[in-house]
Chains A and B, each alone.
Chain A
Amino acid sequence: EAQVTQNPRYLITVTGKKLTVTCSQNMNHEYMSWYRQDPGLGLRQIYYSMNVEVTDKGDVPEGYKVSRKEKRNFPLILESPSPNQTSLYFCASSLGWVGTDTQYFGPGTRLTVL
């Protein structure tokens, strides 16, 4: 089944404790992206990747890192999480450019930073 998977789905952590949210897709998609969703703010793009080893900042990259060493994986790293990073996070992928190719979203990861 074609899908985007994220792990973990739920995470409660404490300020400053490094964490990684994994994202994997099995559709051989080139484009992957991370978003955060906050009440009243909609979805905002954190980082995106157009291909292996090619990443760039979205609109809210502060406090996050990403890597794209393999085509299928695009982990989101929070090196020193803070309470303002409490949010619902979505990973997404598309075959190519998001304008012309449908973007598929993962199920979401709900992160709480205490």
Chain B
Amino acid sequence: AQKVTQAQTEISVVEKEDVTLDCVYETRDTTYYLFWYKQPPSGELVFLIRRNSFDEQNEISGRYSWNFQKSTSSFNFTITASQVVDSAVYFCALVSGGSEKLVFGKGTKLTVNP
């Protein structure tokens, strides 16, 4: 069975603080893909990143970075120098090889205060 756990329901930070969103996943497959999506207050879902299970290299995109650790089954997302526009709900998701089902975590609501 596949499962994604985002233990942080809500996080509140002040602008310019760094913040890490946690994602822990469960799957028995050796081939799988992990994702992060952003849902701003306007409601649409925005794709941020995809990572496959064979690539543990961390990724950085501007102020965003992702830390994938198979040893702890985690795929954490860090926003450096947060901004008010980063306020959103962030979802981590997983699909295992051979499955057509994308499983989402429950989401973490991030509020960045000015």
B33 → chain A, closest Cβ, in Å? Answer: 4
- The secondary-structure label for the interface of chain B is loop
Q: How far is the CB of B37 from chain A (nearest CB, A)?
A: 8
- Taking the closest CB of chain A, its distance from the CB of B102, in whole angstroms, is 5
* B43–A108 CB distance below 8 A: yes
B33's closest neighbor in chain A, by CB?
Answer: A99
- Tell me which residues across on chain A come within 8 A of B44, comparing CB atoms: 105, 107-108
* Interface residue total, chain A, C-beta cutoff 8 A: 27
Residues from 65 to 114 in B contacting A, C-beta threshold 8 Å: 91, 93, 95, 97, 100-107
| Nearest-Cβ distance from residue B21 to partner chain A, whole angstroms | 14
B17: min CB distance to chain A, Å:
25
CB within 8 A of A48: which of B33, B93, B101? B101
Let me know if A103 and B47 touch, CB within 8 A: yes
Determine whether B45 belongs to the interface, using a CB cutoff of 8 Å to chain A. Answer: yes
Do A88 and B50 touch across chains, with their CB atoms under 8 A apart? Answer: no
| Chain B positions 46 through 70: 1 when the CB is less than 8 Å from some CB of chain A, otherwise 0 | 0100101000000000000000000
CB < 8 Å: which of A33, A50, A88, A92 contacts B43? A88
Tell me whether chain A's interface is mostly helix, strand or loop, or mixed. Answer: strand
> What mask results when residues 35 to 56 of chain A are scored 1 for a CB within 8 Å of chain B, else 0?
1000011111100101000001
Q: Bound state CA distance, A92 and B91, in angstroms?
A: 15
Q: Is the CB of A45 within 8 A of B101?
A: yes
Does residue A19 face the partner (Cβ distance < 8 Å to B)? no
User: Scoring B residues 1 to 31 as 1 if CB is less than 8 Å from chain A, else 0, what string do you get?
Assistant: 0000010010000000000000000000000
A40 to B89 alpha-carbon distance, docked (Å): 11
A84 within 8 A of B: no
| With contact pairs A98-B95, A99-B33 given, residues A105 and B45 touching in the complex (Cβ less than 8 Å) | yes
C-alpha spacing A43/B95, complex, angstroms: 13
- A102 at the B interface (CB under 8 A): yes
A sample of 6 cross-chain residue pairs with beta-carbon separation below 8 angstroms, ordered by A number, consists of A35-B104, A42-B106, A48-B100, A99-B52, A99-B95, A100-B33
